């Protein structure tokens, strides 16, 4: 899935997050959830280069360049250790993030983990899938035959948004 899709899915899932964890996500938690939804692709240097477009309007060229260089360095190290869609794309790693949030009591870690979980759910809907039982088994699980950047991805995003609208405004719409 593209970065834009990961962001849309993460933001659309906030009402589910609120139902599961109680309370409501604050405006300050939204950027953390979005960062969590993009974080699993830290192992993909191409994604890092594309993230620059998103951050440049907020931080300017100079800081965007510095952030890009730093993230590209991290990306190379992470990819050399885990590969793309390796351990960082497993529910085990995501569970460790949720556990860290629970143990520390830092709500921002739980928000980050939620965004992370939405990334894994979205990637599991692509033909490449994710290593659902990783690191114990390498086989990837794919629920849908969606190709990244395809019309199928756009249709999936529109479906997520439609379901969210029905869930949020169903009584008004019906």
DSSP state letters, 10-36 = HHHTHHHHHHHH-S---TTHHHHHHHH
Q: Residue 157: inside a domain, yes or no?
A: yes
pLDDT single digits (tens) 133-163: 999 998 999 999 999 999 999 999 999 888 8
User: What pTM, to 2 d.p., does this model score?
Assistant: 0.88
| pLDDT tens by residue, 27-61 | 889 999 999 999 999 999 888 877 777 778 888 88
Instruction: Extract the tokens encoding 6.
Output: 């990961």
**Phi, psi dihedral angles at 94 (to 5 degrees):** -60, -40
The reply to whether 163 falls in a domain is: yes
The answer to the question of residue 55 being in a domain is: no
Give me the number of domains the chain comprises: 1
The answer to whether position 58 is within a domain reads no
Domain of 27 in residue numbering reads as 3-44+84-173
Tell me whether residue 60 is in a domain: no
Alpha helices in 13-148 (DSSP H): 14-21, 29-38, 45-82, 91-104, 107-123
């Amino acid at each position: 899935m593209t970065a834009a899709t990961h962001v849309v899915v993460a933001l659309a899932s906030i009402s589910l997050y609120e139902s599961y964890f109680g309370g409501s996500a604050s405006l300050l938690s939204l950027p953390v959830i979005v960062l969590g939804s993009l974080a699993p692709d830290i192992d993909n240097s191409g994604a890092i280069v594309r993230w620059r477009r998103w951050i440049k309007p907020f931080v300017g060229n100079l800081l965007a360049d510095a952030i890009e260089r730093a993230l590209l360095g991290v990306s190379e190290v992470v990819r050399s250790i885990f590969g793309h869609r390796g351990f960082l794309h497993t529910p085990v790693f995501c569970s460790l993030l949720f556990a860290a949030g629970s143990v520390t009591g830092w709500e921002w870690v739980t928000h980050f983990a939620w965004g992370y979980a939405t990334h894994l759910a979205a990637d599991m809907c692509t033909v490449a899938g994710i290593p659902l039982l990783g690191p114990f088994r390498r086989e990837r699980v794919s629920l849908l035959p969606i190709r990244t950047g395809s019309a199928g991805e756009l249709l999936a995003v529109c479906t997520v948004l439609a379901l969210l609208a029905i869930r949020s405004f169903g009584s008004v719409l019906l």
